[in-house]
Amino acid sequence: MKVTFLLFLSCLFLFACQTKPQKKQIHYSYALIIHGGAGSMDTVNLKETDQIAYKAALDTALQKGISTLASGKSSLDAVCQVIEYLENNPMFNAGRGAVFTHEGKNELDASIMSGLDLSAGAVAGVRDVKNPILLARKIMDNSKHVMLSGKGASEFARENGLEMADSSWFFTEKSYNNLIKAIDNEKLSGLTTPPLPDYKYGTVGCVALDQGGNLAAGTSTGGMTNKQYGRIGDSPIIGAGTYANNKTCGVSATGHGEFFIRYTVAHDISALMEYKGMGVEEAANEVINNKLTPVDGSGGVVCLDKNGNYAMVFNTSGMFRAYGNSEGQKIIRIFK
Ligand code: ASP
């Protein structure tokens, strides 16, 4: 009798533990989230006309991605379409508009990952490929490798019929002036290590969930202004700047790449969901605010879980970002 009563009490206790209130999770048949870089932008240093222009660009990108998903196409197609558009827009640090290296060149990095089978493609340090995200996709689909770099990557791009571009395509006065400023600051401070506290990252990224329940994530960047010696950041590194797994979430990051590599940010968010049962927002918060912030690793992430619920978490004053889903919900924001 006593044993039965004790058993009853333990069952009651276990039941109580399991039914602790959970945040309501909605399932969207498709959803898409975008970032255009995090950084020190605020209402003072980003003019109102620029705010309007950035929001319009994010809106166009979002509409393109959402209509691709609505037509039944794959999340990989939506991610490529959105990032290709942002790469061609000189306002962002990816493709056209990429930042300059110390030597005055543009060296581009990008990656893409499918949450369905964990296949991935990445490219690092290319100078003459118009849309690095399309090259990352080709590497994923048409090669036996995950990551190609430099001249070899360009050769593969040519062989696979991708559009090439010369250095004038990537040149923008804004990016070039930022290089001059960075070199001057370096001379003044005697330090060779960027970034300055007011650094603005302009990398672009996108995560999509399609009607088949498949997640995909992609990221594209010119890296960081004044980078040297063939420096590669987190954006083309699977698990650091990009990750997707249908079991958990898709993630694209922007920020000081060295920290995102060392803390394997994108995969860590997925791992917290998989092994600790965290929700996407909780996991993204844990990594950005509790792991990166204390070590001065600045930046942010956009994420979607397997149901299309989002997280947009950053420890800078702003992050260009947008989200939309199958229910017609639309969010476009810059500041905290
Ligand atoms: N994460 C990129 C890098 O370190 C920079 C950015 O987000 O803009 O290369």
Confidence grade of residue 308 (pLDDT, cut at 50, 70, 90): very high
Q: 98: which DSSP letter? A: P
Catalytic residues: 203
Instruction: Please check the confidence at residue 194 and state whether its pLDDT lies above 70.
Output: no
For residue 212, the CA-to-ligand 1 centroid distance in Å is 31
Q: Is the CB of 266 under 6 A from ligand 1?
A: no
Copy the structure tokens of residue 216: 């995909």
Q: Which atom of ligand 1 is nearest to the CA of 257?
A: 4
Helix (H, G, I), strand (E, B) or coil at 122: strand
For residue 236, the CA-to-ligand 1 centroid distance in Å is 10
Determine the residue of 86, 175, 221, 242 to mutate for testing ligand 1's pocket, defined as the one with the most ligand atoms within 8 A of the Cβ atom. Answer: 221
Confidence grade of residue 19 (pLDDT, cut at 50, 70, 90): very low
Give the Cα separation of 242 and 113 in Å (integer). 7
Q: What is the pLDDT of residue 186?
A: 84
pLDDT tens for residues 108-161? 999 999 999 999 999 999 999 999 999 999 999 999 999 999 999 999 999 999
Q: Is the CB of 222 under 6 A from ligand 1?
A: no
Q: Which atom of ligand 1 is nearest to the CA of 93?
A: 8
Give the Cα separation of 167 and 87 in Å (integer). 14
Q: What is the pLDDT of residue 17?
A: 45
Query: Rounded to the nearest 5°, which phi and psi values hold at 176?
Result: -65, -40
Give the Cα separation of 233 and 260 in Å (integer). 8
Cβ atoms < 10 Å from Cβ of 148: 24
- Among the ranges given (13-22, 176-185, 191-200, 249-258), the one the predictor scored with the smallest mean pLDDT: 13-22
For residue 51, the CA-to-ligand 1 centroid distance in Å is 21
Instruction: Please check the confidence at residue 24 and state whether its pLDDT lies above 70.
Output: no
Q: Is the CB of 93 under 6 A from ligand 1?
A: yes
Instruction: Name the pTM for this structure.
Output: 0.92
Domains, the chain: 27-335 (3.60.20.30)
Q: Is the CB of 202 under 6 A from ligand 1?
A: yes
Q: Which atom of ligand 1 is nearest to the CA of 203?
A: 8
For residue 282, the CA-to-ligand 1 centroid distance in Å is 23
Instruction: Please check the confidence at residue 164 and state whether its pLDDT lies above 60.
Output: yes
State what percent of residues in the chain have pLDDT above 90.
Answer: 84
State what percent of residues in the chain have pLDDT above 70.
Answer: 90
- With a CB cutoff of 8 Å and minimum separation 6, the contacts of 321 are 33, 34, 35, 36, 58, 302, 312, 331, 332, 333, 334
What's the whole-number average pLDDT of the chain?
A: 92
Q: Is the CB of 257 under 6 A from ligand 1?
A: yes
Q: Is the CB of 324 under 6 A from ligand 1?
A: no
For residue 218, the CA-to-ligand 1 centroid distance in Å is 13
Q: What is the mean pLDDT of residues 78-88?
A: 98
Q: What is the pLDDT of residue 23?
A: 52
Q: Is the CB of 320 under 6 A from ligand 1?
A: no
Query: Rounded to the nearest 5°, which phi and psi values hold at 27?
Result: -105, 120
HEC string for 285-323: HHHHHHHHHHHCCCEEEEEEECCCCEEEEECCCEEEEEE
pLDDT tens for residues 226-268? 999 999 999 999 999 999 999 999 999 999 999 999 999 999 9
